[in-house]
């Protein structure tokens, strides 16, 4: 099986712009989560989608949004970019099988805001 | 909400020695505690996890212990090898809830 695929891998934006990141989960996985990783802060939960519905949301401002499509692919969008949004954005998928909680991460999209 | 604290932030260990990383959590409802390893430039990968109905779990050189009363859990790596060098993250969640709260990570360096 192919792993979790994230695009683009690297991108540079300027303050005030917006960005859309894409995530294709492992085939058959219906849960997709997004995390922001910054040095010193670890991984912080953004949101989680299951069957096109947002089930959980982290403590990020409304500039951060996401969605999931019927094929389980997911996108996240950040509007009005700020310097502090520079980070590695990780997508993870889960099989949602009973008693398993393993998240399978993609390699991430590294966003630099200038 | 849940808060997970992880210590130490950096750890250097002589090859062959043991390494211990400790985490505490705040939400007594949390019942699933995974550990992820992230090598430099790579994605985080699950190395071991434990659920609250178990006190200890082992997988070869890796073990995790859980103390529900004290709300802390630890990762133990024995007979460390150079390939164990990485950043390790602990996390906590409620089983079935895919929201993981991560610790801030421990950079483990194995000294040859």
pLDDT 10s digits, B77-105: 999 999 999 999 999 998 766 789 999 99
Mean pLDDT in residue range B62-76: 96
The CB-side HSE value for A93 (13 A sphere, CA atoms) comes to 24
Dump pLDDT digits (tens) for A9-18: 999 999 999 9
- The pLDDT-based confidence of A100 (bands split at 50, 70, 90) is low
pLDDT at B12 over 80: yes
Give B-chain residues touching A97 at CB under 8 angstroms: none
The pLDDT value given to residue B46: 95
Which of A2, A45, A68, A110 to mutate: most B Cβ within 10 Å? A45
Query: What is the rounded CA–CA span in Å between residue B13 and residue A21?
Result: 38
Mean pLDDT in residue range B60-67: 97
Q: SS in 3 state form for chain A?
A: CCCCEEECCEEEECCCCCEEEEEECCCCCCEEEEEEEECCCEEEEEEEEECCEEEEECCCCCCEEEEECCCCCEEEEECCCCHHHCEEEEEEEECCCCCCCCCEECCCEEEEEC
Closest CA to B9 of B106, B110, B90, B99: B106
Mean pLDDT in residue range B3-30: 96
Whether residue A66 contacts residue A74, with contact meaning beta carbons closer than 8 Å, is answered with yes
Q: List Cα–Cα distances, B68 to A43, A54, B19, B100, in angstroms.
A: 23, 30, 22, 18
pLDDT at B110 over 60: yes
Give A-chain residues touching B51 at CB under 8 angstroms: 99
Query: What is the rounded CA–CA span in Å between residue A60 and residue A76?
Result: 13
Residue B40's Cα: distance from chain center in Å? Answer: 17
The pLDDT value given to residue A102: 86
Both tokens of residue B13? 């260990």
Whether residue B17 contacts residue B107, with contact meaning beta carbons closer than 8 Å, is answered with no
- The pLDDT-based confidence of B53 (bands split at 50, 70, 90) is confident
The minimum CA-CA distance between A114 and chain B, rounded to whole Å, is 22
The pLDDT value given to residue B99: 85
Of B89, B98, B105, the CB nearest to A31: B98
Dump pLDDT digits (tens) for A46-97: 999 998 999 889 999 999 999 999 999 999 999 999 999 999 999 999 887 5
Dump pLDDT digits (tens) for B20-47: 999 999 999 999 999 999 999 999 999 9
The pLDDT value given to residue A97: 59
pLDDT at B19 over 90: yes
Give B-chain residues touching A42 at CB under 8 angstroms: 6, 89, 102-105
Count other Cβ atoms within 10 Å, centred on residue B97: 15
Both tokens of residue A48? 């989680």
């Amino acid at each position: 099986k192919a792993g979790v695929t994230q695009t683009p891998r690297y991108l540079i934006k300027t303050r005030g712009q917006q960005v859309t990141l894409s995530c294709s989960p492992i085939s058959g996985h219906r849960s997709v989560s997004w995390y922001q990783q910054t040095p010193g802060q670890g991984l912080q939960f953004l949101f989680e989608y299951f069957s096109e519905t947002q089930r959980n949301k982290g403590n990020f401002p409304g500039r951060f949004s996401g969605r999931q499509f019927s094929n389980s692919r997911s996108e996240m969008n950040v509007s009005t970019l700020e310097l502090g949004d520079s980070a590695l954005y990780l997508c993870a998928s889960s099989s949602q099988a009973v008693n398993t909680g393993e998240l399978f991460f993609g390699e991430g999209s590294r966003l630099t805001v200038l | 909400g849940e808060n997970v604290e992880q210590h130490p932030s950096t750890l250097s260990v002589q090859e062959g020695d043991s390494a211990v990383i400790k985490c505490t959590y705040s939400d007594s409802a949390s019942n699933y505690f995974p550990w992820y390893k992230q090598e430099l430039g790579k994605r985080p990968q699950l190395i071991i996890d434990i659920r609250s109905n178990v006190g200890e779990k082992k997988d070869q050189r890796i073990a995790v212990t859980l103390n529900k009363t004290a709300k802390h859990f630890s990762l133990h790596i024995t007979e460390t090898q150079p390939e164990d060098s990485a950043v390790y993250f602990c996390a906590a969640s409620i089983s079935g809830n895919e929201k993981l709260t991560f610790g801030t990570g421990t950079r483990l360096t194995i000294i040859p």
